[in-house]
Structure 1
Amino acid sequence: MMKNSKVILEQWIQAVNEKSVKNLENLYDKNAVLIPTFSNRVLDTEEKIQDYFMKLGSREGLSVTLHEKTLRVQEVSDFISIISGIYNWRFIIDDELLNFEARFSYVIDISKENPILHHHSSQIPRML
């Protein structure tokens, strides 16, 4: 049975919360591009994506939760969709649990075994 893009996002969130780098890697296409929340680099190889999630997974108290009301799914074709919204990252820095709100977008091809083709995430700037 083919999964929809929201199921892929739920699997991604679960993998982050379980700190399962292998499950995260398996969601990204071998030619995927990740523009991550906590890096100033564009990650365009399997090795770079793996390294990013290994470093992120070492953060104590790491979790990510979706703001359900912000979720938008745009169907591009029978198999390709763009899914976007806001999620909240949490992890401990200097013994303090901090929150980081971030906006995200994914391009997902549900016909592929590794369906995430593109993922961009950036922290939401503080309002002036």
Structure 2
Amino acid sequence: MITKPIDIIQAFADGVNEGSADKLISLYDEKAVLIPTFSARTRKTPAQIRDYFETLAQKPGLGLGLHDKTVNIIHVQDEVYALSGLYLWRFSVDDEILNFEARFSYIVNLKLENPILQHHSSQIPRTL
């Protein structure tokens, strides 16, 4: 069981880096909302979240690096936290590894076995 808010982000990164859709899906509560980095559609059901991560896990060279110094953790109440920061996605597109810098925010409840309640991630625009 995850006991510290930062462990959520690390578990997410580990799941991405291992290409484990099951590990990623296990982090999300059954009522969680995912606004994903690489999809225009919000995912509101476990099946939709599973579909997103299974598709993503098929990307060649998939990896995620966390920018540790950007992480913000706000204690909301009890075991509920808001987390935000930056991470760097990478995977191959047409046999070329590309990097995608993105921002993230999570609402998590550490009392839950599957602690992520909401997760938003979006690519950082390269220009205004």
Matched, 1:74 2:74: yes
Report what 2:27 is aligned to.
27
Q: Structure 2 CA distance, aligned partners of 1:15 and 1:95?
A: 23
User: Partner letter of residue 94 of structure 1?
Assistant: D
List aligned pairs for 1:90-101, cutoff 5 A: 90-101=90-101
Residue 26 of structure 2: SS of its match in structure 1?
Answer: helix
User: Partner letter of residue 95 of structure 2?
Assistant: D
Report what 2:4 is aligned to.
4
How far did 1:5 drift?
1.0
Q: Please say if residues 2 and 8 of structure 2, whose CA atoms lie closer than 8 Å, have aligned partners that are also in contact.
A: no
Report what 1:122 is aligned to.
122
Q: Structure 1 CA distance, aligned partners of 2:48 and 2:74?
A: 28
The unaligned stretches of length 5 or more in structure 1 are none
Q: Structure 2 CA distance, aligned partners of 1:46 and 1:112?
A: 16
Normalised by the size of structure 1, how large is the TM-score?
A: 0.97
User: Partner letter of residue 86 of structure 1?
Assistant: L
The unaligned stretches of length 5 or more in structure 2 are none
- Structure 1 segments, 4+ long, off by >2 Å, are none
Q: Structure 2 CA distance, aligned partners of 1:36 and 1:9?
A: 15
List aligned pairs for 1:31-46, cutoff 5 A: 31-46=31-46
Q: Structure 2 CA distance, aligned partners of 1:74 and 1:116?
A: 15
Residue 47 of structure 1: SS of its match in structure 2?
Answer: helix
1:29-65 alpha-carbon deviations (Å, 9 max, x no partner): 0000000000000100000000000000000000001
User: Partner letter of residue 77 of structure 1?
Assistant: Q
Q: Structure 2 CA distance, aligned partners of 1:75 and 1:31?
A: 21
1:80-126 alpha-carbon deviations (Å, 9 max, x no partner): 00000000000000111000000000001000000000000000001
Percentage of matched positions with identical amino acids: 51
RMSD: 1.0
